[in-house]
């Protein structure tokens, strides 16, 4: 009697231990409450500020009609955008399959055979069977539940990745557009400067004939003129390369027109130099990294559920005329019902190995998530500092261009009065050109830094 009681207690202890330990397999994924991941978990539940810079629609940020048209075409035609959408479709199909795994599976396997006996060679005995097999796995320890949750996390990850691709394409088109604007402005500046320097060469020749300058002044001015002409093909080649880049982004071959009067892009309403964590939580790459951790978490739960028994119920039914070793005509209906409980005892360490691998991959996913979040902080900070510093530089460069324009004007006036040397004239012209190119480059850098800030805040919705 005592032995029987001990056995009952042992069985109850095993059942209770299994039930308690298996509760882990049913827990939903939650981020840690401490560290940078904890800050993110608290911030992502905050109300969304629709006026924040990163939450502006791309149509609000990019007001240039030509740029808007290019972005719209890219979002419609770009290969990466199309593939990202297909990834979402595939993830939705996998999630549907995971949901349907709760239902029983049905299969029909009709068969037939015939036989004849030596004593009665002309008589054939026909046998047939039309069975319907039903199998249903009972989700006792959460294997199917975790598979469904994993598929849902993978879908959310694909959707976040789709948004990340969309944001990257918008940023790439905008960056390429402003780079084209910059190069075409530079090209126009070179052509305008070349005309002026050609006139300067003619002035030097006339002054040489008048005896005011030597041949040295003429050849120096001609060399100056040739240097600007040599720069024009380089810019035209860069324009061609950017045109090809834009064609790949948009998915359409063309010689793209840009607005040369496009204003320098600057952070507009909703720009705040102190960026809260809730803004970073809107970044699609951060959300995708979070769902990657969730997927790895559910994979660990699935590996853990392999240590517990699995229960399946199967049933066979149908119509047949085969009864044992005899054939009966007409046939009759039959039904069979069975339950199958499989409890792992020894799997050569495979389950233990799978669980260890799943835990390691879960930790890797968490490490990648934290790194992505810290990188996002660094990107935002770098973009903001870049905009601030370039804005200061822009003011100084504008003053430099203004002063050098006056210097060129004064030197040309003095040249007519023979109160300056040709070297001073050439130096002033070269300095002005370099400052004007710097001004164009600074405007481009500010525009691109603004686009990068917009992207780093999850913009592009």
Of 27, 93, 95, nearest to 302 by C-alpha is 27
Total residue count of the chain as it appears in this document:
461
DSSP classification of residue 330: E
The confidence band for 18, taking pLDDT boundaries of 50, 70 and 90, is very low
DSSP assignments along 107-121, one per residue: EE--EEEEEE-SSST
Which tokens sit at 54?
């990163």
pLDDT tens digit string along 106-140?
777 777 666 666 555 556 666 667 677 777 777 77
Residue with tokens 């992502």: 44
The residues, ordered by sequence, that sit 6+ positions from 216 with a Cβ below 8 Å of its Cβ are none
pLDDT tens digit string along 87-112?
888 988 888 888 888 777 777 777 76
Rounded Cα distance, 455 and 164, in Å: 9
Of 291, 301, 313, nearest to 365 by C-alpha is 291
Compute the mean pLDDT over every residue in the chain, rounded to the nearest whole number: 81
Main-chain dihedrals φ then ψ at residue 322, nearest 5 degrees: -100, 115
Higher per-residue pLDDT: 404 or 333: 404
Q: Is the pLDDT confidence value at 144 over 70?
A: yes
Rounded Cα distance, 16 and 307, in Å: 15
DSSP assignments along 195-233, one per residue: HHHHHHHHHHHHHHHTTSS-HHHHHHHHHHHHHHHHHHH
Rounded Cα distance, 433 and 186, in Å: 10
Rounded Cα distance, 77 and 66, in Å: 17
pLDDT tens digit string along 256-278?
888 888 888 887 655 566 677 87
Q: Which of 46-55, 136-145, 394-403 has the highest mean pLDDT?
A: 394-403
Q: Contact, 365 vs 357, CB < 8 A?
A: no
């Amino acid at each position: 009697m005592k032995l029987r009681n001990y056995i009952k207690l042992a069985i109850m202890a095993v059942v209770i231990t299994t039930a308690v330990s298996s509760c882990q397999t049913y827990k939903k994924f939650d981020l840690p409450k401490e560290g940078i991941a904890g800050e993110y978990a608290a911030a992502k539940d905050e109300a969304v500020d629709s006026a924040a810079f990163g939450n502006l629609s791309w149509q609000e940020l990019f007001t240039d009609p030509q740029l808007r048209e290019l972005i719209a075409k890219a979002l419609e035609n770009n290969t990466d955008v199309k593939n990202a959408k297909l990834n979402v479709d595939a993830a939705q199909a996998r999630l549907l399959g995971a949901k349907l795994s709760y239902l029983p599976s049905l299969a029909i396997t009709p068969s037939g055979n015939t036989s004849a006996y030596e004593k009665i060679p002309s008589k054939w005995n026909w046998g047939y069977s039309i069975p319907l097999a039903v199998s249903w796995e009972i989700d006792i320890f959460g294997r199917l539940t975790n598979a469904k949750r994993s598929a849902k996390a993978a879908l959310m990850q694909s959707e976040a990745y789709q948004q990340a691709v969309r944001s990257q394409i918008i940023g790439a088109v905008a960056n390429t557009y402003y780079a084209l604007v910059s190069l075409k402005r530079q090209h126009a500046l070179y052509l305008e400067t070349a005309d002026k320097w050609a006139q300067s060469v003619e002035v030097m020749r006339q002054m040489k004939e008048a005896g005011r300058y030597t041949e040295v002044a003429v050849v120096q001015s001609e060399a100056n003129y040739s240097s600007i002409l040599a720069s024009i093909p380089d810019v035209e080649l860069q324009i061609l390369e950017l045109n090809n880049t834009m064609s790949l982004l948009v998915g359409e071959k063309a010689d793209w027109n840009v607005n040369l009067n496009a204003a320098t892009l600057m952070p507009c309403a909703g720009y705040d130099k102190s960026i809260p964590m809730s803004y970073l939580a809107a970044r699609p790459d951060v959300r995708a990294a979070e769902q990657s951790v969730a997927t790895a978490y559910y994979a660990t739960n699935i590996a853990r559920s392999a240590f517990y028994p699995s229960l399946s119920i199967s049933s066979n039914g149908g119509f047949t005329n085969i009864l044992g070793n005899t054939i009966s005509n007409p046939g009759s209906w039959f039904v069979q019902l069975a339950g199958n409980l499989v409890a792992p005892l020894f799997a050569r360490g495979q389950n233990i190995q799978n669980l260890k691998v799943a835990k390691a991959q879960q930790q890797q996913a968490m490490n990648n998530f934290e790194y992505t979040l810290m990188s996002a902080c660094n990107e935002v900070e770098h973009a903001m500092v870049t905009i601030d510093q370039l804005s200061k530089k822009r003011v100084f460069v504008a003053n430099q261009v203004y002063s050098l324009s006056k210097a060129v004007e004064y030197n040309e006036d003095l040249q007519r009065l023979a109160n300056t040397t040709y070297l001073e004239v050439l130096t002033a012209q070269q300095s002005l050109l370099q400052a004007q190119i710097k001004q164009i480059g600074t405007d481009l850098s500010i525009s691109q830094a603004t686009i990068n800030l917009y992207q780093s805040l999850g913009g592009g919705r």
